Amino acid sequence: QVQLVESGGGLAQPGGSLRLSCSAPGLSLDYYGIAWFRQAPGKEREEVACVRNGAGGTYYKDSVNGRFSLSKDKANNTVYLQMNNLKPDDTAVYLCATDYPTIKKISDSYDACFYGMNHWGEGTLVTVST
DSSP 100: T
How far apart are the C-alpha atoms of 85 and 16, rounded to whole Å?
5
pLDDT band for 1, please (50, 70, 90 cuts): confident
Mean pLDDT within 103-124: 90
For 80, the enclosing helix (H) or strand (E) is strand 78-83
Interval 98-104 mean pLDDT: 86
Number of Cβ within a 10 Å radius of residue 81 = 25
Length of the chain: 130
C-alpha 52/C-alpha 103 separation (Å) is 10
Mean pLDDT of all residues belonging to the chain: 95
In this prediction, residue 45 carries a pLDDT of 96
Determine which helix (DSSP H) or strand (DSSP E) holds 34, and give its type and residue range.
Answer: strand 34-39
pLDDT surpassing 80 at residue 105: no
Euclidean distance between CA atoms 91 and 126, whole angstroms: 5
Q: What is the pLDDT of residue 106?
A: 74
pLDDT class for 102, splitting at 50, 70, 90?
Answer: confident
pLDDT at position 128 over 80: yes
Specify the pLDDT at position 43.
Answer: 96
